[in-house]
């Protein structure tokens, strides 16, 4: 029988310089898997660590046949590591968690129970966080509220890596940049049911945090992308059509005001010519956004072939 068909649960752990916590983390994952009683695999994605993490992962793989190791050719970041784990996962359910021991694997059974009740995505909520106040917790709260407002997905902790997904759902989601935190919003945009679960959060015991206030600008830019993806991923022409309508309204308003002012106040012909030129440029923008929307419709139909080409370039091995 094909071993891949036996796997019910995949644990995906992105790793970057976490040598001090990997053995303890795997021991806790092993205990959690013993409680759920499902056939499983543990996929560690090494994001080109430089502290000996890869060697430890290879030792774990030799000790535990459920362990699989994926390594990037260079450092690509947490989102790419999670996406690679999704690509390689064979389980019907995928659970993701950080490699720094701040996420508690003991929460995995409770998340799987929510999946068994019919939920598609279970998002962890670190209600009582053990992070720095000014550089981590306050920026996180601001970002979470902004994300909830823009996307309409009421999640308290979008940055928590501890999440559970149905494999058939994440197989349809394309993520890049820092978009792993937006997975619940992307899932809801695909019609999935999302539930939040309070999880344990622990202080970091080794290594250094990879997060900082400097990543805020990237998150804000990704938020604009997610707004487009979550609401218009299957109808991009509507998104760009709204923008073209805005410029159409501006063009008509400018033409009307220029005509009225020209007739009423006998403005010089050069000003009227300038207004007419601006009107024509606005019409060009209208045509531009309509054409951009049509090109986006074509891109949506071709996006399914892109993911495999990317990972064929990124991955060295998966064993």
Report the interhelical angle of 216-232 vs 236-265 (nearest 10°): 100
Residues 74 and 106 in one domain: yes
- Assess if residue 316 is contained within a domain: no
Q: Which residue has the higher pLDDT, 244 or 302?
A: 244
Three-point CA angle 246, 247, 252, nearest 5°: 100
Verify that 149 and 240 share a domain, yes or no: no
Greater confidence (125 vs 301) lies with: 125
Residues 10 and 37 placed together within one structural domain of the fold: yes
- Mean pLDDT within 108-125: 95
Provide the domain count of the chain. 2
Q: What is the dihedral of CA 126, 175, 33, 39, to 10 degrees?
A: 160
Q: What is the phi/psi pair of residue 117, to 5°?
A: -80, 0
224 & 257 share domain: no
Residue with tokens 């600008």: 217
Residue 98 placed within a domain: yes
The pLDDT, as a whole number, for residue 8 is 96
- What was the pLDDT predicted at 197? 95
Instruction: Check residues 135 and 19 and name the one with the higher pLDDT.
Output: 19
Q: Are residues 285 and 182 in the same domain?
A: no
Residue 167 and residue 287 share a domain? no
Domain boundary among 233, 266, 281: 233
Backbone conformation region of residue 299, classed left if phi is above 0, alpha if psi is from -120 to 50, else beta: alpha
**51 lies in the same domain as 124:** yes
Q: What is the pLDDT of residue 185?
A: 76
Average confidence score pLDDT of the chain: 79
My answer on whether 31 and 143 are in the same domain is yes
Residues 211 and 146 in one domain: yes
Least reliable range by pLDDT among 2-16, 192-206, 302-316: 302-316
List the single range of 114-128, 168-182, 243-257, 289-303 with lowest mean pLDDT.
Answer: 289-303
pLDDT for 134 equals 65
User: Which of 50, 25, 12 is closest to 204 using CA atoms?
Assistant: 25
pTM above 0.75, yes or no: no
Maximal C-alpha separation, the chain: 88
Residue 312 lies in a domain: no
Of residues 305 and 90, the one with the higher pLDDT is: 90
- pLDDT per position as a tens digit, 271-280: 666 666 777 7
pLDDT of 10: 97
Q: What CATH number does the domain containing 138 carry?
A: 3.90.550.10
Structure tokens at 73: 């050719």
Mean pLDDT of 123-145: 76
269-302 vs 236-265: helix crossing angle, rounded to 10: 180
The three-state secondary structure class of 166 is strand
In a domain, 50, yes or no: yes
The H-or-E segment that residue 267 falls in is: none
Q: Which pLDDT score, from 0 to 100, does residue 3 have? A: 47
| Domain match, 29 and 81 both | yes
Report which of 101, 24, 79, 8 is spatially closest to residue 56, judged by C-alpha positions.
Answer: 24
Residue 291 lies in a domain: yes
pLDDT in tens, 65-106: 999 999 999 998 888 999 999 999 999 999 999 999 999 999
Q: Indicate whether 226 and 249 sit together in one domain.
A: no
Calculate the alpha carbon distances from 8 to 40, 167, 193, 243, 295 in Å: 6, 10, 20, 45, 39
Domain assignment of residue 287, given as a range: 236-304
Q: Is the pLDDT of residue 147 over 60?
A: yes
**133 and 30 in one domain?**
yes
At which of 184, 206, 233 does a domain end?
A: 233
Q: What is the pLDDT of residues 170-219, one digit of tens each?
A: 877 777 666 677 788 778 766 789 999 999 999 887 767 666 555 555 66
**261 within some domain:** yes
**% of the chain residues with pLDDT over 90:** 40
Question: Domain for residue 208, yes or no?
Answer: yes
Mean pLDDT check: name the lowest of 199-203, 284-288, 299-303: 299-303
Read off the tokens for 134.
């000014």
15-53 per-position pLDDT tens digit: 999 999 999 999 999 999 999 989 999 999 999 999 999
Q: Is residue 74 part of a domain?
A: yes
Percent of the chain with pLDDT over 70: 68
Domain boundary among 211, 233, 255: 233
Confidence label for 55 from pLDDT (cuts 50, 70 and 90): very high
Task: For residue 45, give every residue at least 6 positions away whose Cβ sits within 8 Å of its Cβ, in sequence order, or none.
Answer: 12, 13, 14, 15, 70, 71, 72, 81, 82, 84, 85
């Amino acid at each position: 029988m094909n071993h891949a068909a036996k796997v019910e649960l995949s644990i995906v752990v992105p790793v970057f310089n976490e040598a001090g916590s990997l053995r303890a983390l795997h021991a806790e994952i092993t205990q959690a898997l013993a409680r759920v009683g499902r056939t499983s695999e543990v996929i560690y994605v090494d994001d080109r660590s430089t502290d000996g993490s890869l060697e430890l992962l290879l030792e774990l793989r030799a000790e535990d046949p459920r362990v699989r190791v994926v390594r990037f050719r260079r450092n690509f970041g947490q989102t790419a590591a999670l996406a690679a784990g999704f690509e390689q996962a064979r389980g019907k359910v995928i659970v993701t968690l950080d490699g720094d021991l701040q996420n508690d694997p003991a929460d995995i059974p409770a998340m799987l129970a929510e999946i068994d009740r019919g939920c598609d995505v279970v998002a962890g909520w670190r209600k009582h966080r053990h992070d720095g106040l000014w550089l981590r917790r306050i920026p996180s709260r601001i970002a979470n509220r902004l994300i909830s407002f823009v996307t309409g997905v009421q999640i308290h902790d979008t940055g928590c890596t501890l999440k559970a997904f149905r494999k058939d759902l994440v197989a349809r989601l394309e993520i890049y940049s820092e978009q792993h935190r937006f997975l619940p919003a992307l899932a809801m945009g695909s019609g999935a049911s999302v539930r939040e679960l309070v999880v344990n959060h622990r202080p970091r015991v080794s290594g250094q945090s990879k997060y900082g206030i400097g990543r805020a600008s990237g998150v804000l830019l990704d938020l604009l992308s997610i707004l487009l993806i979550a609401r218009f991923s299957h109808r991009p022409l509507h998104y760009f059509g709204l923008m073209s309508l805005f410029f159409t309204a501006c063009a008509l308003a400018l033409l009307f005001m220029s005509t009225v002012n020209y007739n009423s106040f006998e403005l010089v012909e050069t000003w009227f010519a300038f207004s007419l030129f601006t009107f024509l440029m606005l019409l060009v923008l209208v045509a531009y956004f309509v054409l951009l929307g049509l090109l986006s419709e074509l891109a949506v139909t071709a996006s399914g072939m892109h993911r495999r080409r990317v990972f064929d370039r990124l991955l060295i091995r998966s064993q």
